[in-house]
Structure 1
């Protein structure tokens, strides 16, 4: 693909979505493309080495519309060839932003769907997503499962959806950790089980806590690390931990973890567990692979397409605490098995999920749409 100007839009400025976008922008730049990233104030990677332009446009969801208009007018002087949204939440906001950009820019719109609402449990969000998907020219998802979901539950044209895997998070391994491993692992015999990331009901944390009761009974030196920002009241988890007499065996940090502190948790982990009951795809899984850690995941969403059973981790039924505990114990009781799985996971991160490969596949999507506007432009302006 010839050199193009790509407007990349990521409105959060921190967390997994921001980090994903940063890595994609770097890889596209290495592939010869020119990138203009619109991100948020307080962009957490602002001091990192990068070869693309990052403009701090957004104030999360409270951005001044006049500031957006001014930025769009300025960009219209040298319009982009492609507009690429990174989307996970707040479809209504992206619809507004897309409509505004359409007034000034006539470029095809690619939208990466990092998450989608369940068709029953979140109907208002589903309606907004239906409209958003119709108003974009191309959709990218990270797994075949997710493509099928968009086709069956959102009636998206199959030709409009391309599968591009989630790239690795190896850049984390190059950060100087600000959290000492020794703070989380008091002695060499301690076995750490890590749950990491935002906490919501669909993350299935309650099942992991219950599974840990059997794990701790079998391995008294085991410890469960629960680390992440809760989007619900975490007291229910603390009550369950206390009810199961696990208070001394569980470490909790209910807050957002700054970029530089993330490596410490993964380096201290013996196994990373994703007990989700509903998921689209997971960046935490790629974090575990980057640090060479074996994983235990559930058979939800696109995760079974990333985890190779018995090679990079184990896959168990969602909501099954007994199976979850058995898989964790199998890894903790066999350090050699865990080490082999971790090494294989790291190899997958370096090869299958390399950002240069992800960039090539993304450019193929751009090439498919460059220079043309779908019917969506005329129906959604």
Structure 2
């Protein structure tokens, strides 16, 4: 029997961001399982004025090539061309990455025109930052897919409430292995101008309001009362004006303890920030799952996070990280304090994080996803 032929719609290289990275690694993992995966990428996702410049990022896949039929998310005319193109590939099934309601009408059209069963890989059900016609898009989601794969219990429960009875497989977000050249902590700290004995917290990734960087900055005065030498490193692309955060740093009088590195962080630089850090902080106001947690685990670092979305499910309190009591500067500071008190248990933390990395592998994820896709395609 020929291997299952999967048309996989998602941004891939050269797009930036977590979705492109996730899909590129899943592409390789599914191919390693023997599936015939055809990556169908976008020409553009959003207008340039919304993204603040180039969308080009790193290549996380072993194969840079993908089919790019001119698909532009904000141009419905390109959707028809893409649907016809996917039909010409004659796939057994379509796998479609979903993270925003704007994708629902696109996937509905592809499902209808291509005439192939479609499985939606659901990163988020509700947008982190909602828009006025999102409820309508969520209703469309129920008719644009024959089945779903989710990455967290929170999204799976939201889906069951909204679209009861549709087949779904709940999986997890696999752990990201370190990318690029290995960097020692001493070299990384020297490059960033940080002393070897200074506790370092890292906020990594896109900076948007729901990510709560302002809450972490407001927590810093209380954190510094406990550990005056502590440094907070912020590295990532700002979707807001960084001046807002620099002003807050000055108002809080914490400029000597906060380093801002605005801009997209390419793979070869990621290791520098994680190697320099002792823990990663996610002070999010809202979330589903987060790739930053799994990236931290890949580098062997514990995680401090707020109790939103599936973040508590991804962290084993006191064993792989700490969960704040609520979403507030005071509780975030308390969680960081618990981390600072744990210096004698770092070996046990490292063992637990290695265990999570083995359990949440790309190989196990792709095996389970592949079996589900075979079932939905009627091949098993």
Q: How far is the alpha carbon of 1:121 from its aligned partner?
A: 5.2
Match of 1:95 among 80, 84, 105: 105
Q: How far is the alpha carbon of 1:100 from its aligned partner?
A: 4.1
Match of 1:319 among 317, 327, 330: 327
Q: How far is the alpha carbon of 1:58 from its aligned partner?
A: 5.1
Structure 2 match to 1:85: 96
Q: 1:337 to 1:326 in 2, by over 3 A?
A: farther
Alignment: residue pair count: 364
Match of 1:14 among 5, 13, 16: 16
Matches within 5 A, 1:136-147: 136-147=145-156
Match of 2:230 among 222, 234, 238: 222
Q: 1:257 to 1:245 in 2, by over 3 A?
A: same
Match of 2:297 among 281, 289, 292: 289
Structure 1 match to 2:47: none
Q: 1:319 to 1:77 in 2, by over 3 A?
A: closer
Structure 1 match to 2:50: none
Q: How far is the alpha carbon of 1:36 from its aligned partner?
A: 0.8
**Secondary structure of the structure 2 residue equivalent to 1:169:** coil
Matches within 5 A, 1:220-369: 220-349=228-357, 351-369=358-376
TM-score (norm 2): 0.86
Distance 1:333 1:57 in 2: 54
1:169 matched to 2:202? The reply is: no
Deviating above 6 A after TM superposition, structure 1's stretches of 4 or more consecutive aligned residues are none
**Secondary structure of the structure 2 residue equivalent to 1:166:** coil
Q: 1:142 to 1:125 in 2, by over 3 A?
A: same
Asked if the contact 2:10/2:40 (under 8 Å) is kept, the reply is: yes
| Aligned alpha-carbon RMSD (Å) | 2.8
- The answer to which structure, 1 or 2, has the higher relative contact order (CA under 8 A, 6+ apart) is 1
TM-score (norm 1): 0.86
Gapped regions of structure 2 (runs ≥ 5): 44-54
Q: Deviations over 1:193-223 (max 9, x none)?
A: 0111112222122221121212222222211
Distance 2:58 2:232 in 1: 29
Q: How far is the alpha carbon of 1:98 from its aligned partner?
A: 4.0
Distance 2:104 2:317 in 1: 37
